[in-house]
């Protein structure tokens, strides 16, 4: 597939998608969100891909929805399009992906960019990363999950302050607050994130899918429902050949040879 606003490649079971509008700080225009949706759907459908890595490269993740494009719309025209800046295309594709999607963030992840990183399963941040929901500065508000996912990730006080003032969080604060899984030096971000994705891709794919679903239950369900879901999912893994292989390999002191990866 040929794209103009993103680049897509595949290596060792990992689908790597790089946002590619450097002059606009990877601002999310409708072409980009549409191409990203198509790319993620294609990687999701590709049996050779077992983990997806989403990045903006070494300088910037994304500075939010494309304000210059968005300002040409009014309520009626966006309503007619079903609010594509925050719904449909890439947002649906990331939400529905059963394969893990990792965000590798360097530089600004603002507005829709921060929301896109948070929609992924976890974020690895460069030491240059800056996260924020600055929509209040242009008289609007987060619309693609910012008020919800940021609050769940960092708690009410920080989320409320950031959304109401537009204050950004640097990588250190983001790690301390639980927004990112870890920080790496900017120049090693892409390699570190790729190694993590490749490690996930080497694991048993059905077990990976079940773990992803179960961890997501923890943030979307009440504890009792989440615990019940996890118990059933755990029991189900005993139906996988890979589960028997993994346990036998451990007992026999050898590396597991998973069939489903």
Which member of 16, 51, 103, 110 binds ligand CAA (CB under 6 A)? 110
68 binds ligand CAA (CB under 6 A): yes
Name the one range near ligand CAA by CB under 6 A: 6-14, 38-46, 47-55, 66-74. Answer: 66-74
Least distance from ligand CAA to the Cβ atom of residue 15, Å: 24
- Exactly one of 112, 113, 132, 246 is catalytic; which is it? 112
Nearest to 42 by CA among 17, 20, 21: 17
108 part of the interface to ligand CAA, by CB under 6 A: yes
How many helices (DSSP H) and strands (DSSP E) are in the chain?
A: 12, 9
On whether the CB atoms of residues 242 and 207 are closer than 8 A, the answer is yes
Among 42, 78, 138, 160, contact with ligand CAA (rule: CB under 6 A): 138
Q: Tell me if 117 sits within 8 A of 65, measured CB to CB.
A: no
Nearer to ligand CAA, 87 or 260 (CB): 87
Interacting residue with ligand CAA among 56, 142, 206, 246 (CB under 6 A): 142
Q: Shortest distance, CB of residue 144 to ligand CAA, whole angstroms?
A: 5
Residues 178, 131, 14: CA angle, nearest 5 degrees: 75
- 126 three-class SS: strand
**Assigned token pair, 222:** 């009440």
Burial of 221 by CB count in 10 Å (0-12 exposed, 13-18 middle, 19+ buried)?
middle
Piece in contact with ligand CAA (CB under 6 A), picked from 47-55, 57-65, 202-210, 236-244: 57-65
Encoded tokens for 250? 């451990």
Q: Which of 62, 119, 135, 146 is labelled catalytic?
A: 135
Residue 89 within binding range of ligand CAA, rule CB under 6 A: no
Active site residue 135: yes
Give the binding range for ligand CAA (CB under 6 A) out of 97-105, 142-150, 183-191, 250-258: 142-150
Which one of 115, 117, 129, 175 is the catalytic residue?
115
Regarding beta strands 108-110 and 130-132, do their DSSP bridges make them parallel or antiparallel, or are they unpaired? parallel
Which of 100/112 has CB closer to ligand CAA?
A: 112
Radius of gyration of the chain measured on its C-alpha atoms: 19
Active site residue 241: no
Tell me 96's DSSP state: H
CA 116 to chain centre: 6
- Rule CB under 6 A: choose which of 14, 27, 126, 179 binds ligand CAA: 27
Q: 8 has which bridge partners?
A: 17
Q: What is the DSSP string of 104-132?
A: EE-SEEETHHHHHHHHSSEEEEETT-EEE
Task: By CB under 6 A, name the one of 42, 67, 186, 218 that touches ligand CAA.
Answer: 67
Which positions lie near ligand CAA, rule CB under 6 A?
Answer: 24-25, 27, 63-68, 85-86, 108, 110-112, 115, 134-135, 137-138, 142-144, 146
Active site residues: 65, 112, 115, 135
């Amino acid at each position: 597939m040929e794209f103009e606003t993103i680049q897509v490649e595949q290596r060792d079971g990992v689908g790597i998608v790089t946002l590619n509008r450097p002059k606009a700080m990877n601002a999310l225009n409708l072409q980009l969100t549409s191409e990203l949706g198509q790319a993620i759907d294609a990687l999701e459908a590709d049996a050779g891909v077992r983990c997806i890595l989403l990045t903006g490269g070494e300088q910037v993740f994304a500075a939010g929805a494309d304000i210059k494009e968005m300002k040409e719309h009014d309520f009626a025209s966006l309503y007619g399009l079903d609010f594509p800046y925050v719904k449909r295309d890439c947002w649906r594709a990331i939400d529905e992906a059963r394969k893990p999607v990792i965000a590798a963030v360097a530089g600004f992840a603002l507005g829709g960019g921060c929301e896109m990183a948070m929609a992924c399963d976890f974020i690895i941040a460069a030491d240059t990363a800056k996260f924020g929901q600055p929509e209040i500065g242009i008289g609007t508000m987060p619309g693609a999950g910012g008020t919800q996912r940021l609050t769940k990730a960092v708690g009410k006080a920080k989320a409320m302050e950031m959304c109401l003032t537009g204050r950004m969080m640097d990588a250190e604060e983001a790690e301390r607050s639980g927004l990112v899984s870890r920080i790496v030096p900017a120049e090693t971000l892409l390699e570190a994130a790729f190694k993590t994705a490749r490690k996930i891709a080497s694991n048993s794919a059905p077990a990976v899918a079940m773990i992803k679903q179960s961890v997501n239950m923890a943030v979307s369900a009440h504890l009792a429902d989440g615990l019940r879901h996890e118990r059933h999912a755990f029991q189900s893994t005993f139906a996988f050949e890979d589960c028997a292989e993994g346990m036998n390999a451990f007992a026999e002191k050898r590396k597991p040879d998973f069939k489903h990866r």
